[in-house]
Amino acid sequence: MKFRAVFNRMHRLFFSSKQDLAIATCSFHSDNIEENKLLNQLRIRIEATGPLSVADYMKEVLLSPSSGYYMKKDVFGSHGDFITSPEISQVFGELIGIWFYNEWLKVGKPQPLQLVEFGPGRGTLTDDLLRVFSKFMPHGTQLSIHFIEVSPHLRKLQALKLCSTDTEEGIENDLLPTKYGFPLKWHSSLESVPENFSLFLAHEFFDALPIHKFQKTTDGWKEILVDYRGGQLQFVLSRSPTPASKLLIDPNENRDHVEISPETGVILDQVLKRMKEDGGISLIVDYGHQGTKTDTFRSFQGHKLHDPLEKPGEADLTADVDFSFIKKCAKNKAVIFGPVNQADFLKNMGIDVRLEKLMESATPEDQKSLKSGYKMLMSPDEMGERFKFLALYPVVLKDRLRKYPPAGF
């Protein structure tokens, strides 16, 4: 499937006029619209052009320049709405750094080299990776860092974490030296990243990309939309098929409810094209499934589940990544390894040895923190089985990878 063409066509056609809708059974009450600027904007848009796809709703809620969730505050860590693996333990990022370094060595240490991270959060993961790179990479390695980040607020947090200087001028010019000596540049999309051999990293990135939601009925596939009625946002069901349902759903789909992210397909196409033409290695880490789950769209606020239609812009929106969809996008375009459970990947990469080494010089308080972090990363009841690792390589390396498969998998 040509995901870029589908994506563009879908948005040209989608909701050119008010849709004929049936109200679904699920709706959520919102506070007075005057108390939420983004809710007011959504109401006006829906009244003018009709109900929104869940994908368009997610875009507005997460990335609206004035009120979007990611655009205005630090949402990570114990004081935010969720916590990520790099924030839990330095070992997580260190092992990913070792993995990338090892795979780079195996393909001949090509230069210039780029680390390209999608949605880098606070920059904690790249900070751990660069600490590894600075110790192991040969002196004089031509390495640059490229962040795909649209949030001005998060760019500032990333600069604070990684850079030896925190000047507005540097951030506005999208270029700053890091404390490790490697330059950092920000981008709004992959298109402006230089065309060099790249280490592509996407950790908890694809789960935040917009999804379309579809429900199978006796009359065929219908799309779940977001409407504003009776002073509240509501999920509604289209009375007839939408362009998205006609273009995106696999004819062989056997589930009765599916979530599809066309933007995931577009970004993967871009990455795979880069890997083919310029060389590269990709690592995707996220929570997800292999084409088995149905309704996973949800919201988090203060580390607790939150109504996704309540107080838009004040809570995170997310959906489990469909790794079978990623593999379908990459089929015949890349060599695919995984997905494997996070616990298995980290165990294969030597997390137990690294933990033991850190424990030797840690204070009793730090030892407690290290053990707690290890449990969260590895336990099946926490992150150990829910999070998956998937790696992509250029097809040209197929024979070599058969002989020397990647570590961790």
Mind listing the pLDDT tens digit for each residue in 366-392? 999 999 999 999 999 999 999 999 999
List pLDDT tens digits, range 199-219.
999 999 999 999 999 999 999
pLDDT at 316: 87
* DSSP secondary structure letter of residue 134: H
pLDDT digits (tens, 9 = 90+) for 20-73: 444 443 444 444 444 678 899 999 999 999 999 999 999 999 887 777 777 666
Report which of 18, 69, 56, 119 is spatially closest to residue 261, judged by C-alpha positions.
Answer: 56
**Res 84: pLDDT:** 84
pLDDT in tens, 110-128: 999 999 999 999 999 999 9
At 25 the pLDDT is 39
Question: What pLDDT is attached to residue 38?
Answer: 87
Q: Is residue 211 included in any domain, yes or no?
A: no
CB–CB of 189/266 below 8 Å? no
Q: How far apart are CA 287 and CA 301, in angstroms?
A: 18
Q: What is the pLDDT of residue 173?
A: 57
Choose among 101, 80, 92: nearest CA to 157: 80
- Domain-embedded: residue 174: no
Phi, psi of 145 (to 5 degrees): -110, 135
Within-domain flag for 365: yes
| Main-chain dihedrals φ then ψ at residue 29, nearest 5 degrees | -80, 140
Q: Count structural domains, the chain.
A: 1
Find the range with the poorest average confidence among 244-248, 309-313, 338-342.
309-313
Q: Sorting pLDDT into bands at 50, 70 and 90, what band is 75?
A: low
User: Does residue 313 lie within any of the structural domains?
Assistant: no
Query: Strand 220-229 vs strand 52-53: parallel, antiparallel, or unpaired?
Result: antiparallel
Q: 358 is in which domain, residue-wise? A: 340-409
**Domain presence at residue 384:** yes
Does any domain span residue 363?
A: yes
Reported confidence tier of residue 17, pLDDT bands at 50, 70, 90: very low
Give the pLDDT mean for 153-157: 89
Q: For the whole model, what pTM was predicted?
A: 0.88
What does the pLDDT read at residue 127? 97
371 within domain boundaries: yes
Q: Is 161 exposed, middle or buried (0-12, 13-18, 19+ CB in 10 A)?
A: middle
Q: Examine the pLDDT at 148 and tell me if it is beyond 50.
A: yes
Does 238 map to a domain? Answer: no
Residues whose CB is less than 8 angstroms from the CB of residue 346 and which lie 6 or more positions away in sequence, other chains included: 91, 92, 95, 377, 378, 408
